[in-house]
Amino acid sequence: MDSKEPLAYRIRPKTLEEYVGQEHVIGKDKILYRTIKADRLSSIILFGPPGCGKTSLARVISETTKYKFYKINAVTSGVADIKKVIEETKNFMLNPAGKSILFIDEIHRFNKLQQDALLPYVEDGTIILIGATTENPYFEVNKALISRSMVIKLEALTQENIYTVLKNALQRKEGLGEYQIKIEDSTLKKLAMISGGDVRTALNGLEIAVLTTPMETDGYIHITDEVIKNSVQNKKAVFDKDGDSHYDNISAFIKSMRGSDADAAVFYLARALNGGEDPMFLARRIVICASEDVGMANPNALVVANSAMQAVHMVGMPEAQIILSEAAVYVAESKKSNASYLAINKALEDVRSKDTGDIPMHIRNAPIENMKNFGYGEGYLYPHDFPGHWVEQQYLPDKMLGTKYYIKDENIK
């Protein structure tokens, strides 16, 4: 076994038939499968979590295409590297086809200048771009490049996918096939489960287990659950506070509170805290939810949420997690009404798009006595002077009379 190359690298697939997972985009009836097989690929951006097979798919393409294939990493490459690829591609002696495929790993790391350098050559077809990123390309990649590429989302591999890859790794000669290994299927499946959808994590864990476990007297390396437990990182919730999962997780957190599912709200809160999310950011989301989604069904929710935000600011982590949990549960468990939210949105729409008329003179301000001579404040009825502290009078402008913004629903008393 070549110690310089990790197991995950040695057993990467070379053909589409060897590729495991992502059937939703490279199944035999899918467009990506057809275009790779026909070598008619156009520029694509692959995005998905670590270890889902982005680089492996690019390697399959490199093995099947008739075009010259280049690979660079955005972390270590720059405009000069792009220009070198372009020059070689346009050199008829070096590349008679006049076209090449450029695979850029971590393409989101390219700055605007570097991405702009690619654009004219992607546009005229000199370069077929394959970009790989763990970030949402719609946030991180030049919109012009996006518009000229097919964006493909790869999913985290399933436990069944990872189990299949692990079985292959144990059998293939370039993998671990030359080792005498005994491992139960249940242990292999447990490894697939704790890898969290990252096949690289699973393969690294298996390789470490094999290399660090001595052979027993029967001539076999016995890999048990305990060996696997000590050879692989614990399963982790995929969360990047600066990436796509940040937006997905906070969306799920808010929607769980809105949907009155306290358990889900606490779960997504835990994912965010475990991933390093700013506790004050989470506290502000709870305040917003208390106002937007609970509203007048339980006005005290806003008081609780606001108090929690102040307490989080004063106390800090780790104790702040208790405060956030309490506030999130309270908001989730509260009755819901978005009547106030709908009211202000409708009113804003009217004042922005309509001639709403003038404020009635009798409710205008008259700080100076002489202003009353012009009708300011004239005829105003002070509600506290009347029974029940209420009196019939006009408040809306003439042009808006009869308009209803705040409409109580069944959860508002």
pLDDT digits (tens, 9 = 90+) for 331-378: 999 999 999 999 999 999 999 998 989 889 888 887 666 666 677 888
Judge if 141 and 27 occupy the same domain.
yes
Q: Which domain holds residue 34?
A: 22-153
Judge if 36 and 95 occupy the same domain.
yes
Beta-carbon contacts of 360 under 8 Å, excluding residues fewer than 6 positions away, are: 394, 395, 396, 397, 398
Amino acid at residue number 41? L
Domain boundary among 333, 360, 383: 333
Q: What is the DSSP secondary structure assignment for residue 155, as one 8-state letter? A: P
CA–CA gap between residue 54 and residue 73 (Å, rounded)? 13
Judge if 30 and 146 occupy the same domain.
yes
Share above pLDDT 70 across residues of the chain, in percent, rounded to a whole number: 94
Q: Is it the case that residue 188 has pLDDT exceeding 60?
A: yes
> 129-163 in b/e burial notation, b at 16+ Cβ within 10 A?
bbbbbbbbbeebbbeebbebbebbebbbbebebbb
Are the C-beta atoms of residues 375 and 361 closer than 8 Å to each other? yes
Distance of CA 305 to the CA centre of its chain: 26
Distance of CA 143 to the CA centre of its chain: 18
Judge if 108 and 188 occupy the same domain.
no
Place of tokens 């694509």: 44
Report pLDDT for 370. 64
CA–CA gap between residue 139 and residue 120 (Å, rounded)? 21
Judge if 289 and 303 occupy the same domain.
yes
Judge if 267 and 281 occupy the same domain.
yes
Stated as kind and residue range, the H or E segment containing 227 is helix 225-229
Q: Is it the case that residue 1 has pLDDT exceeding 50?
A: no
Question: Is 238 contained in some domain?
Answer: no
* pTM more than 0.85: no
Are the C-beta atoms of residues 73 and 105 closer than 8 Å to each other? yes
C-alpha atoms less than 13 angstroms from C-alpha of 207 in its C-beta half-sphere: 22
The per-residue pLDDT of the chain, averaged, comes to: 86
Judge if 63 and 168 occupy the same domain.
no
The angle at the Cα of 83, spanning 78 to 86, to the nearest 5 degrees, equals: 135
Task: Supply the CATH number for residue 312's domain.
Answer: 1.20.272.10
The string of pLDDT tens digits covering residues 301-322 is 999 999 999 999 998 888 999 9
Across 118-129, average pLDDT: 86
Number of domains in the chain: 4
Q: How many separate helices (H) and strands (E) can be counted in the chain?
A: 18, 7
The string of pLDDT tens digits covering residues 78-114 is 888 888 888 888 888 787 778 888 898 888 888 888 8
Judge if 28 and 122 occupy the same domain.
yes
DSSP, residue by residue, 38-71? TT----EEEE-STTSSHHHHHHHHHHH-SSEEEE
Confidence of residue 242 (pLDDT cuts 50, 70, 90): low
What are the helix (H) ranges across 297-360? 300-315, 320-333, 339-353
Domain boundary among 229, 255, 270: 229
217 three-state secondary structure = coil
Averaging pLDDT over each range in 54-58, 69-73, 341-345, which range is the top one?
A: 341-345
| Residue 354: CB atoms within 10 Å | 11
Question: Is 83 contained in some domain?
Answer: yes
CA–CA gap between residue 16 and residue 296 (Å, rounded)? 57
Judge if 390 and 298 occupy the same domain.
no
Question: Is 364 contained in some domain?
Answer: yes
Question: Is 14 contained in some domain?
Answer: no
Amino acid at residue number 45? I
Q: Is it the case that residue 299 has pLDDT exceeding 90?
A: yes
Q: Is it the case that residue 18 has pLDDT exceeding 90?
A: no
Domain boundary among 283, 301, 333: 333
Amino acid at residue number 159? Q
Q: Which residues pair with 151 in a beta bridge?
A: 45
CA–CA gap between residue 68 and residue 128 (Å, rounded)? 10
Cis bond before residue 318 (omega within 30° of 0): yes
Of the candidates 144, 207, 199, 157, the one whose C-alpha atom is nearest the C-alpha of residue 177 is 207
Q: For residue 45, which phi and psi values (nearest 5 degrees)?
A: -120, 120
CA–CA gap between residue 41 and residue 101 (Å, rounded)? 9
C-alpha atoms less than 13 angstroms from C-alpha of 203 in its C-beta half-sphere: 25
Task: Supply the CATH number for residue 345's domain.
Answer: 1.10.3710.10
Across 243-258, average pLDDT: 85
Q: Which residues pair with 101 in a beta bridge?
A: 69, 128
Judge if 317 and 250 occupy the same domain.
yes
Task: Supply the CATH number for residue 203's domain.
Answer: 1.10.8.60
Confidence of residue 297 (pLDDT cuts 50, 70, 90): very high
Question: Is 4 contained in some domain?
Answer: no
CA–CA gap between residue 56 and residue 72 (Å, rounded)? 14
Judge if 137 and 171 occupy the same domain.
no
72 three-state secondary structure = strand
CA–CA gap between residue 352 and residue 347 (Å, rounded)? 9
Are the C-beta atoms of residues 156 and 21 closer than 8 Å to each other? no
Which tokens belong to 282?
Answer: 């989470």
CA–CA gap between residue 210 and residue 26 (Å, rounded)? 32
Question: Is 12 contained in some domain?
Answer: no
Report pLDDT for 237. 53
Are the C-beta atoms of residues 62 and 101 closer than 8 Å to each other? yes
